[in-house]
A and B are shown apart, each in its own frame.
Chain A
């Protein structure tokens, strides 16, 4: 997927491994030879965090890393701003290797290139909303006017206008995470790291926050790394998705790739629970165009989800939709049957 214009900070992770324990460096060759996580723990008393991770995250897009607890996803995101040091591997951000930075360079990198949102919010409890939001700029040494101006803009943008003087524990969880988001955005860094940012929120508020994030991303085009354990959230947000299990990547791709072509049983067991109609696009199920589009028939744009296509079909006449490309040309057609089979997880139907 191409980088978005105006943001050159893609993230390139190569051969990244992390072993926890006192003699991690000695264990690295064993891990490279493919020792299992259980064996490493039993025989050597070291814990394998991540094994040989390769991900290329395009600039200006949302990369989701999905996995269950213990899969190493939070460890992985902490390598990008080196809150955790890797055992082996490289992390290239905008062409520069984060692993090789000294303390001062790393601090400058964290101040200007990254901002982070945390699962447990991690707001400063003794500071009010405004003072929390300016924190990143304050650490950078920006002038107070610039701090407040940027902070007020983002406080308003995330819907917290009027709450500037409130302390974090006077706010609900959803509002606290809005502060966390405003704090990260005020930093105006090209990379936004979100560690299970919405996992602690109620389902409705979570959906709401996802919408806020997607809306804002349309304007700011940050390189967002989003960690989650929820596949629905991953599919909704992710331009690209990587699925992590026991410290290894089991599948990478777009939401279509994951849902239509799960790499193994593990991924498939997740995909089974997904609302397929909202993920699968008509492009994946359509057949060749059946001649000219029937007059008065329903037509939808490429990239429309199956659910939307069906609801368009229900509202119109006929029993097939015409799919049009970006220029309005007809590129295919899908019958109601084809659309319906996409909703059932049987492999043949989905891959038709």
Chain B
């Protein structure tokens, strides 16, 4: 009865050969294309370096001022402005300023990349059920595949550093913005779309004048989710050499430094809350026309 308790499987020799075959194939691919791919991502690397340098070189009072100003422009609420500035000040007071700036820069770049790639993909997806059927399972894989697994090929291709970090973070964080762009456009009122058609709108005019503006609140929710997920990936990305608040956390895990881990972890939470409140308040202000309704 041995065959009942042991699942019938490929014999070990075949499996080993299979894995080795794939590994070898990928390694050959890496050797052949590694440089080309690195060149392709060069602009991204420059973008990362410049944004990080900008944040690190700007005097801290100006950073605080800018954050406060952004908070005010997005929310028009003093509580959000004060909360944001105070949180950042406390983080700086506990000597985590530079790491925080690196993390903020990383998150900013990842979010920009996710928006630039994600919104067009979401738009294409919303236009065809077939494209949606293809992209949806890919997004499922991106969200559920353990991040360590796709770190391996990324590192093999691009080595250790910032760029592979961004790619890993974007893979993990881009699904919400794609999904919610798609959803937002699909939810646009059919009557309004019909009216746009009846007035002879081209499909670009329809997208620009009707679909995107009406989907914007949903898309903003997607951007908010993307920012949160990008921040959550910062610790994992630190394993492949991304600097910032993740590195001290990693060090704390390896050496069981409880307090070091706690401080840096709380700093990540702090900036997550700042990002979240500001982007949500901005999303709400975009829907201002829906607030004052006819009684």
Contacts and interface: CB of A to CB of B under 8 A. Distances in A.
Contacts of B195: 116, 118, 122-124
B194 interface: yes
B292 interface: yes
Interface in A121-177: 122-126, 128, 135-136, 138-140, 167, 169-172
Interface stretch (A39-47, A49-57, A107-115, A314-322): A107-115
16 contacts: A81-B198, A110-B197, A122-B191, A122-B192, A123-B192, A124-B195, A125-B290, A135-B209, A139-B200, A139-B209, A169-B293, A170-B292, A170-B294, A171-B294, A172-B294, A193-B198
Contacts of A169: 289-290, 292-294
A149 B199 CA distance: 19
B216 to A, nearest CB: 8
Contacts of B281: none
Contact of A116 (B199, B213, B293, B294): B199
B142 interface: no
Contacts of A14: none
A261 interface: no
Contacts of B198: 81, 83, 110, 114-116, 193
Contact of B199 (A110, A120, A125, A126): A110
Interface of B: 189, 191-192, 194-202, 205, 209-210, 213-214, 289-290, 292-294
A171 B292 CA distance: 10
A305 interface: no
Q: Closest 6 A-B residue pairs measured CB to CB?
A: A111-B200, A110-B200, A122-B195, A116-B198, A167-B289, A122-B191
A125 B188 CA distance: 11
Contact of B200 (A109, A124, A126, A128): A109
Nearest to A135: B199
B202 A107 contact: yes
A187 interface: yes
Interface residue SS majority, chain A: mixed
A107 B197 CA distance: 8
A90 to B, nearest CB: 20
Contacts of B213: 124, 126
B290 A124 contact: no
Interface in A85-116: 107-112, 114-116
Nearest to A167: B289
Contacts of A187: 199
Contacts of A128: 289
A140 B189 CA distance: 23
Contacts of A135: 196, 199, 209
Contacts of A139: 199-202, 205, 209
Contacts of B196: 135
Contacts of B289: 125-126, 128, 167, 169
Nearest to A173: B294
Contacts of A116: 195, 198-199
A267 B147 CA distance: 70
A86 B203 CA distance: 22
Contact of B191 (A112, A120, A136): A120
B262 to A, nearest CB: 45
A136 B197 contact: no
Interface in A246-302: none
